[in-house]
Chains A and B, each alone.
Chain A
Amino acid sequence: MADLRNNFVGIKSPNPFWLASAPPTDKAYNVERAFKAGWGGVVWKTLGEEGPPVVNVNGPRYGAIWGADRRLLGLNNIELITDRPLQVNLQEMKQVKMNWPDRALIASIMVPCEEASWKAILPLVEETGADGIELNFGCPHGMSERGMGSAVGQVPEYIEMVVRWCKQYTRMPVITKLTPNITDVRKPARAAKAGGTDAVSLINTINSIVSVDLDSFAPQPTVGGKGSHGGYCGPAVKPIALNMVAEIARDPETYGLPISGIGGVTTWRDAAEFMTLGAGNVQVCTAAMTYGFKIVEEMITGLSDWMDAKGHRTLEDITGRAVPNVTDWQYLNLNYIAKAHIDQDACIKCGRCHIACEDTSHQAITSMVDGVRHFEVMEDECVGCNLCVNVCPVDNCITMVGLEAGVVDQRTGKPVDPNYANWTTHPNNPMARQAAE
C-alpha cells in the first residue's frame, strides 16, 4: 500500500487532498462533512478583517460552460470572501480543529494591504490552533476593486511586503496564494520567496466572462440585468495551472519552493500530474462543488492504486518527477520523428481523424481504400502532429509511434538521425550557434 501521508511545510495530513478556500469551506457544517468524507485538509474560506462582514450579491453567483452530456467543464464565480462575522468563523475553526486533530486546517486571509490590519488578525487566527495561513492574493473579482486579492497579487513588491509582515507577526507557516491574472507567474513567486514565504499555492481563479445571455444581452451570471467578470475554475483551467506550477518549479530562483497545486483537479490523475510537476499537495474545489465531497474517495484510491502499480511508495517518490522534463521549445529534439498509427480493430470508422487531417492539417489519412471506408495513416504525408489522436473518440485507437534511429522517414526520404539536435544549432536558425568543430 502506498503511503499517502502528506507533510507540506510541516503541516501534516493523512492524504494530499485539501479543499481549497472557497464556498465548500465556509463553515463548520461543510468542513465537518468534508473531513468525514476523507479530505486530508481544508483551507477555510477567506477571512476578512474584524467588523461588518462583506456582503454577497443575492442573485446568481456562478456561471458555467459544459461539455457533452452537460458535464461541467468550467465554473465562474463572483462570490466574495466569507460574509460571516470573523468571530463566528474563528470559533468554528477552533472547534473543528479540536474535533479533527489529524487533519490540516489552514486559514485563508485577506485584509487591506496595511501592516496594522495583518498584525491585528494574525494572533486571532493563531489562537484557533490552525496549522497555517494562506494569503489570498488571488481573487480577481470584487475584492480586487477594493485593493485586495489579485490587486495585491499583481504587484510583486506588495506580495513581498505582506509576506514579510506575516512572517514577522506569526509562527504559523505562510502559504502565498498566487493569481494567474499576470503575465509571468515567476515574478510574484520570486517576490513571495523573497518575503520569506514557506510555500506558494496556485492558481487562483482566472478573470472570465463565462457566457452571455442572448435574450437579455448580459453576461452570465446576470444580476439584475448586469454581469461582472468572475473567477474561472474547474477542469478547463487545469492546463493553465499545470504550466504555471511547472514554471515556478523549474525556475532556478524558486526551485524547491513548496507548491500547493490548485486548478481543475478533478481526479486522482489530475492530482498526480500536479505533483509530478512539483506540487507537494493539491487543493480541490470545483470537483467537490460539482459532485460532492465523496469524490475524494476516488482520488485517494486512484492515486494509491497507481502508486502501487508503479512501485512508488511515498508522495516524495513522485513529487517533482516531471519537472526535469519540462523544457523550452528550443531544446526539443528535432531529430525525433513520430507517426500516427490507427489500430484498425479499435477504429469505429467515424472519420473524424480523416476530416481533421484533410481539412486542417496535412492530408495524411485516407477515407476510402479500394472503394471501402477505411482510415489509415499515409506515412509519407504524416508529420506526427497528434491532432488525429486528439480528435479520435476512442481511447487508444490512434497512437503516436516514434521511429527508430536509422529507419527511413517516408515523408522526407531520410533515415532517422540517432543524435539529439535542437533549434539552437539548426541550420535554418539565423541565431544558431556554431557547432564545435
Chain B
Amino acid sequence: MGTNVSGIHGGRLAPADYEKNFSDLHPPLDHHEALVAADRCYFCYDAPCMTACPTSIDIPMFIRQISTGNPIGSAKTIFDQNILGGVCARVCPTETLCEQVCVRNTAEERPVEIGRLQRYATDTAMEQNIQFYQRAERTGSRIAVVGAGPAGLACAHRLAMNGHDVIIFDARVKPGGLNEYGIATYKSTDDFAQREVDYLLSIGGIEIRNGQKLGRDFTLGELTENFDAVFLGMGLAGVNALKTEGEQLSGVEDAVDFIAALRQVENKADIAIGRRVVVIGGGMTAIDAAVQSKLLGAEEVTICYRRGKEHMNASEYEQDLATSKGVMIRHWLQPKRVIGKDGKVAGIEVEYTAMQDGRLVGTGETGILAADQIFKAIGQTFDPTGVGNLRLEAGRIAIDAEGRTSMARVWAGGDCVKAGEDLTVTSVAQGRDAADSINRALAAAANPAVAVA
C-alpha cells in the first residue's frame, strides 16, 4: 500500500492512514473528562485567562457552569462574547493566550484545559441546535459586509441581533474564510466551519452572496451608496513571493493554496505530495503545511526559517507538534535559488544567515537541500484592489479603536486591518466591536437626541 517514489504523488499512504492522520488533533472531551478538567479551575478573581482572551470570554464562569452540570448556560456565556467560540476552541493558540496565564501554570505547570472545555460547551449547545439569540425589531438599516470569514461573520451576527439586515459578499465558493480554507485539517474536522456558519446564520437577517469579490464584481463606492454602513473583513488575499531564481518551477507552491486544497478535497490521497518537502517560513502556515505534508506521507519534511527559534511566529507548542510528527525545523537559513531539473523542482539552495548590527544578513555560506516540492509560507499580504482611497497603514486598512476606517460609514476588521494579530479570535473581537460601533452610529443617526443622552 502507498508509494515512496520520488517526485510529487498522491496515494502515498494506505487509506486508513489518511483517516487516522487527519482526524481531530485533540479529540473532544467526553462528559467525565470535562467534569474532571472543569474541577481544576480555581474561579480566580479578575481571572488572568479572561484578560488574555481577545474576546474577553468569562472563562471562570463558563467553566463553573460546566462543573455544575449546565453546559448549555456555559455555551451562552461563551457565545455572548464570541459567537465563533466553537472554532476558536479548536484553533486558538491557547498556549499563548488564556492557558498561558492560567494560575495553574504557576501552581503545577499544567493549565486548565480551557480550549477543550470551551469546545465541550459549544459542541453541546450546537449539537442540540440551541439558539440563544433573537433578532431585535427590524431597524430597516441595511449593512454590507465584505468577507464571510471570522470578522465578517461575527460582525454580521451582532448586526443581525440588533435588527439590521446584513448582506455578506464573499469571493469564495463557500463562506467561512480561513475557518473553511485556512486551518489545518486536523484542527477542525467534520465540516465544522460550514456547520458553524449555519448555526450562526440561524438568527436570520443575514444573506451571504458567494463568488462576489470586491474590486472585481462590485466597488466600495457601490456599497456605500446602496447600504447604510459597510464592514470590510476580506482578510489577506495576497501571498509573498520568494523572489529567487527558479520560483516558477513546477513544484513550487503557496502553502495557503496547499492547505486550502487539502481541506476541500474529498479524498486526501488525491493530494499530491513530494517525497522530500521543504517549507519556507516560520509562522503557523509553515507549520500547518509542513505537518500536513508529513501526514500525507512525505518522507522528509524540512522547515527553513531565516531567523532563530525564538523569532518564529509559530508558538512553541506548534513547533513541538511539528517536530513530534517528524518535521525537521532548521533555523538561520534563507532561500537563495530553487534548483530545477527537467522543469521541475529538484532542490533548493539555501544560505546561512546571521544577525549583524541588528540586521539579518546572509553569511555567504550556502548549501543544497534536495526537494521535490517547496511550499512558500513567508507571509500574506493585503490586496487593496477595490478599496479606493481608503487610508492604509503598513499595507493594511487603517482603523481607529472602534474599527472605523478613514471613510465615513465604512468599518473594517480582521486580518485586513493594521491592528490585526492574524488570529481568528482577534478577528472575531474586531468584527463584533465594529458591529457595536455601527449600531451606535446608526442609532445616533436615527435619533440624535437619544444618542446624546
Contact = CB atoms under 8 A, between A and B. Distances in A.
Interface in A43-90: 68-70
A350 B36 contact: no
17 contacts: A68-B40, A69-B36, A348-B103, A348-B104, A349-B44, A349-B48, A349-B106, A350-B44, A350-B45, A350-B103, A351-B45, A351-B46, A352-B43, A352-B45, A355-B45, A355-B46, A373-B46
Contact of A348 (B36, B45, B46, B106): B106
A348 B107 contact: yes
Interface in B34-51: 35-36, 39-40, 42-48
A394 interface: yes
B107 A394 contact: yes
A351 B44 contact: yes
B45 A393 contact: no
Given A349-B103, A373-B48, A69 B39 contact: yes
B106 A70 contact: no
Interface string A351-391: 11011000000000001000001000000000000000000
Contact of B44 (A68, A69, A352, A394): A352
A393 B102 CA distance: 14
Contacts of A367: 45-46
Contacts, number: 36
Contacts of B36: 69
A334 to B, nearest CB: 32
B42 A70 contact: no
B107 to A, nearest CB: 5
Contacts of B106: 348-349
A402 B449 CA distance: 62
Interface residues of B, number: 15
A348 B40 CA distance: 14
B31 to A, nearest CB: 12
A350 B45 CA distance: 6
B39 A68 contact: yes
A17 B127 CA distance: 52
A352 B106 CA distance: 15
Nearest to B105: A348
Contacts of B48: 349, 373
Interface string B98-121: 000001101100000000000000
A373 B52 CA distance: 14
A350 B39 contact: no
Interface in B102-159: 103-104, 106-107
Nearest to A356: B45
Nearest to B43: A352
A349 B46 CA distance: 10
Most buried by A among B45, B103, B107: B45
Most buried by B among A349, A350, A352, A394: A350
A350 B35 contact: no
Contacts of B39: 68-70
Nearest to B36: A69
Contacts of A373: 46, 48
Given A373-B48, A394-B107, A352 B35 contact: no
A354 B35 contact: no
Given A350-B44, A373-B46, A373-B48, 14 more contacts: A68-B39, A68-B40, A70-B39, A348-B106, A349-B106, A350-B42, A351-B44, A351-B45, A351-B46, A351-B47, A352-B42, A354-B45, A367-B46, A393-B107
Nearest to B47: A351
A395 to B, nearest CB: 11
Interface in A383-412: 393-394
Contacts of A349: 44, 48, 103, 106
A394 B42 CA distance: 11
Contacts of B104: 348
B105 to A, nearest CB: 8
A395 B47 CA distance: 20
A68 B43 CA distance: 13
A373 B47 CA distance: 10
Contacts of A69: 36, 39
Nearest to B51: A373
A367 B51 CA distance: 14
What are the nearest 6 A-B pairs in CB distance?
A351-B45, A355-B45, A348-B106, A68-B39, A348-B103, A350-B44
Interface string A133-148: 0000000000000000
Contacts of B107: 348, 393-394
A355 B44 CA distance: 9
A349 B47 CA distance: 9
A349 B42 CA distance: 11
A166 B417 CA distance: 89
A214 to B, nearest CB: 10
A73 to B, nearest CB: 13
Contacts of A394: 107
A350 to B, nearest CB: 4
A388 to B, nearest CB: 12
Interface string B234-250: 00000000000000000
A69 B32 CA distance: 10
Interface in A324-358: 348-352, 354-355
A373 B45 CA distance: 11
A431 to B, nearest CB: 42
Contact of A70 (B35, B40, B45): B35
Contacts of B45: 350-352, 354-355, 367
Contacts of B44: 349-352
A350 B47 CA distance: 7
A393 B43 CA distance: 11
A393 B44 CA distance: 10
A352 B47 CA distance: 10
A8 to B, nearest CB: 40
B41 to A, nearest CB: 10
A69 B35 CA distance: 7
B87 to A, nearest CB: 29
A359 B166 CA distance: 44
Interface in A115-174: none
Contacts of B47: 351
Nearest to B107: A348
A357 to B, nearest CB: 10
A367 B42 CA distance: 16
B42 A393 contact: yes
Nearest to A347: B106
Contacts of B35: 70
Interface in B42-73: 42-48
Nearest to B35: A70
Contacts of B46: 351, 355, 367, 373
Contacts of A355: 45-46
Contacts of A393: 42, 107
A351 B43 CA distance: 9
Most buried by A among B35, B42, B48: B42
Nearest to B44: A350
Interface string A274-308: 00000000000000000000000000000000000
A69 B37 CA distance: 8
Contacts of B42: 350, 352, 393
Contacts of A351: 44-47
Nearest to A70: B35
B53 to A, nearest CB: 16
B122 to A, nearest CB: 23
A349 B102 CA distance: 9
A247 B106 CA distance: 43
A71 to B, nearest CB: 9
A391 to B, nearest CB: 10
A393 B35 CA distance: 19
A344 to B, nearest CB: 11
Nearest to B39: A68
A64 to B, nearest CB: 15
Contacts of A350: 42, 44-45, 103
A393 B104 CA distance: 10
A393 B103 CA distance: 11
